Structures are given as structure tokens and as C-alpha cells.
Amino acid sequence: MNLKTYVEFYELLERNKVSREENRTFGLATEAISFSPFKQIVQWVEQYKSRLEQPSLSEKFSSYLYGITFTLVIGSFFLGLFSGVGLLSYSGHEPVNVIYFIAMVVLLPLTTMTFTLITMFKTHSTQPFLVHLSPAFWMEKLLQFLPRKLEVSVENFKVNPLLAQWLIIKRSQLLALVFSLGLLLALLGMVVTKDIAFAWSTTLQVSPQEFHSLVYSLAFAWRELFPWAVPSVELIEQSQYFRLGEKLNVQMVDNASKLGEWWKFLAFATLFYALLLRFMVWLLSLWGFRYALLKSFLSLEGSAKLLREMNEPIITTTPKQLNSIPTESHIQTSQSEDVLSSSYSKTLGWSLTLEELHLLNDSMGVESTEVFEVGGNNSLEQDTQVASHAKGEVLFYVKSWEPPTMDFVDFIEELTEVTSRVTLVPVGTVEEQYLAKPHEIEMWGKKLQLMGNRKVWLKR
């Protein structure tokens, strides 16, 4: 798990590279770890990262971040080195004041580490706290000066604020660590290559005993194991330096060989405060970064959806292919009439009883010599017989609400072979007083339109 995986995860979600079905298949394959969403996500990224176009955003982002970090690390190291050399430069006219170096390797690390710890505890607040003090914070700002092409590709990628804060904290600690390493190397280098006379000097009224007590306290971590790396009261007395008159104390000159002993204390102070403690804070920042990364994975937009897709069954009811929608024919127009004739050679009713047919004829004022019931429970032979004996104009009642079937169409075809004209009259239910509804008449009209039989007319 690292930032690269996080960016890959972001890119996979953003580019929508994996289908719902694949996610579910993956979820079923990793059911054993479904209790740990984070593990599932990391495995998912591993499985599908090969689908990202090369070079991927994660590679570009990581390489940039690496480049900038590397540059800053080198810079910090040399800054530390040159700062150390500067602090320890000794012209031979006056000794090197150890207070400067102690401030650099003890006071500065303790102060910045305190700020860092406060920042760590405050990372839950949504606004960055104290991270602006960190040089690593400005790394982000440096990204704005990236070449345009890369800027475009990374500017849309927004690191989770929590993760961004921990990233800054982590990298700040690394830079501080490297800076301190530069200081230590400067100290060792200067000690090896030069004969440095260390001294201490302050305007404050501090006696050698008091200063010893301070130094002794600072050396609490190593004074038992390495007592020779703690300056004695005698050394402190001998190395106190007053600038007045720009002349070296006679006592100092006499003990010049002993003044160099200070380097052991300074080296241990650097090792302990600037390196060891910083290293521990760096480890803490790694742990915090990991925690932030874990939270960021789960809070990334799309991650909840992904987990749902992995762990919830796909339920579908849709067919693979939908039937084509039939198009309506407009080639023919149905023939209709508004008024019925007063008499017809024959009256037929499709699935209507004889009583109903007589009643209908009476109500419509129609006379008919013969009335027959067709369709319904009639056999096909019975219908054929009725059709074959028909002639002239036929009045044909149908139930308006019953869609015409091919059974009916077959009969009409038979009927129109021997008759001159068939007038279809859709009738409603008894409750509707046999009045057909407009949409039902419309439905019959459409059917007749499709049939295209010129002998069939519709009573509207």
C-alpha cells in the first residue's frame, strides 16, 4: 500500500475501467476478505492496474513527486552540510561558540518536532494546521511550475486533504532528517580536517556550573553509557569565552588541546536530538501516513460504489435483447361509415348471442332477414357454413373491447369472398348500453387498416 496504489485506484475509478460484472466476479473471488474493504480494494487495484494507459497518472505523479522530493532531499542535505560548516568555521582568532551548534541540533529539532506532533494531532481538522511552516508544504506549490502537459494531467487529481497533510508531515520529517545528517557530517568532517577550539559564550549571567548542569541534562540519554561524551565542569570553565578586547583567555590558550573535546558532546547531541528523535517522529509520520492512506482509499469518491458492486449480488431481470417494436402500417386507410342502412341481407355477431343480436338490430333500427352467431363456441365448420351462405351486404356486430384475432380475420376473409360488403359495428358492454368507446373503435380501425380488405367498412 502506497501513494502510487492510491493514485492507481483513483485513476481506475475515474476512467471507469472495470465493469459492474467484473467487479462482482472479483467480489465473489475475494469473498474471504470481504470483511476488510481495504484489502479488497488493494487487491482489486493490483488486478486491474494493467488496464491503465501507459504512462499512467500514478507513474507520472509518483515520478514527479519523487523528483521533487529527491531534489529537496539533496538540497536539505547540502543545506545541513553547509550550515554545519558555517557554524563550525574557525578562523583561529576566536573559538567556535558551541551554543550556536547546540541551538541548531537540539533546540531547533525539539521545536519543530513539537510543532509536528501538534500538527499530527490536528490532522483531523479539515483545515491544514501548521503545515504551512513545513518546507514540504511548498512542494505542492512547486507543482504549479511544472511543464504544462503534466500540470494538466495532475491538476484534476486532488489528493484527499487528510492524506495531503500527512504527506507533507512525512516528507518534512525526511527533509529534517537529511538536513541533520548534513550537520553531523559537517561536524565530523570539520573535526577531522581542522583543529577547532570550541568555547561557549553568552551575555547572560550564566556560571560554568549552571551551564554544566544544562549540558548534563541535555546528555541524559547517553551520559551513563558514554560519560566521556559529556563535558566536565572543568572543561566548561576552561572553555568559557569573553569577546571583550578580542583577546583569548590565557587559560584557554593553555588548555587549547582540551577545547576540542566538545565535539563528542556535539556529535552525540546531533545523533540523539536531530537524528534519533527525528527518526522516531519520521516513523510516526509513516504510520500516520499509512492510516491516512487507508482512510483516503475508503473515502475516495466511487470506492463505496465499488465495494457495493463487489459484495452485492447483481440482480437483473432484463432480457439480453429486446424484441423490435412493430411499426404501424399507414399504407391503407380503414373505410368507415357513419350511418347504417335500414336493411341487410344478413346480421352476424362475433361471440354474441342471438338475443343480443336481435336487440342490437332493434335498437339500431336495422332489418335483417337472417341473424347468425359466429365465433365463440361455434365450430369452424359451423362458421364456414354461415360464411358460405352469405351474400349481398352483411352487418357484423363485434365486441368493441375484444381485440380482433386472426381467427376473426380468417372468417372475414371467407365472408368477403361471397359478399359485396361487410359493415363492422363494434358494440360496448351491456353496462355501457352497447356504446363502444372511441379508443376501442380506433383499435378496430387500425386492425382493418392492416387487413386492407376493401369490402370491409367500419361503423364509427
Residue ranges that bind other proteins, judged by CB under 8 A = 21, 24, 28, 126-127, 144, 160-162, 298-299, 304, 312-319, 322-323, 325-326, 328, 350-351, 375-377, 379-380, 399, 401-407, 410, 429-431, 439, 443, 446-447
Q: 370: which strand partners?
A: 346
Nearer to other proteins by Cβ, of 77 and 444: the residue is 444
- Write down the least CB distance from residue 402 to other proteins, Å: 7
- Write down the least CB distance from residue 19 to other proteins, Å: 13
**Cβ within 8 Å of residue 34, ≥6 positions away:** 27, 40, 310, 311
- Angle of CA points 73, 79, 84, to nearest 5°: 130
Nearer to other proteins by Cβ, of 50 and 318: the residue is 318
Nearer to other proteins by Cβ, of 111 and 405: the residue is 405
- Write down the least CB distance from residue 76 to other proteins, Å: 25
- Write down the least CB distance from residue 293 to other proteins, Å: 15
Residue positions counted in the chain: 460
Amino acid at 26: F
Alpha-helical regions (H) of 15-160 = 20-29, 37-48, 57-88, 98-102, 108-121, 137-142, 148-155
Nearer to other proteins by Cβ, of 106 and 167: the residue is 167
Contact criterion met (CB below 8 Å) for 187 and 267: yes
Contact criterion met (CB below 8 Å) for 12 and 51: yes
- Write down the least CB distance from residue 166 to other proteins, Å: 14
- Write down the least CB distance from residue 443 to other proteins, Å: 7
Task: Please state the separation of Cα 196 from the chain's center in Å.
Answer: 59
User: What's the CA gap between 412 and 407, in Å, rounded?
Assistant: 9
Nearer to other proteins by Cβ, of 21 and 46: the residue is 21
Nearer to other proteins by Cβ, of 53 and 328: the residue is 328
Nearer to other proteins by Cβ, of 110 and 380: the residue is 380
Distances (CA, A) of 79 to 137, 177, 183, 270, 276: 18, 12, 8, 15, 19
Sort 302 into a burial class: Cβ within 10 Å, 0-12 / 13-18 / 19+.
Answer: middle
- Write down the least CB distance from residue 25 to other proteins, Å: 8
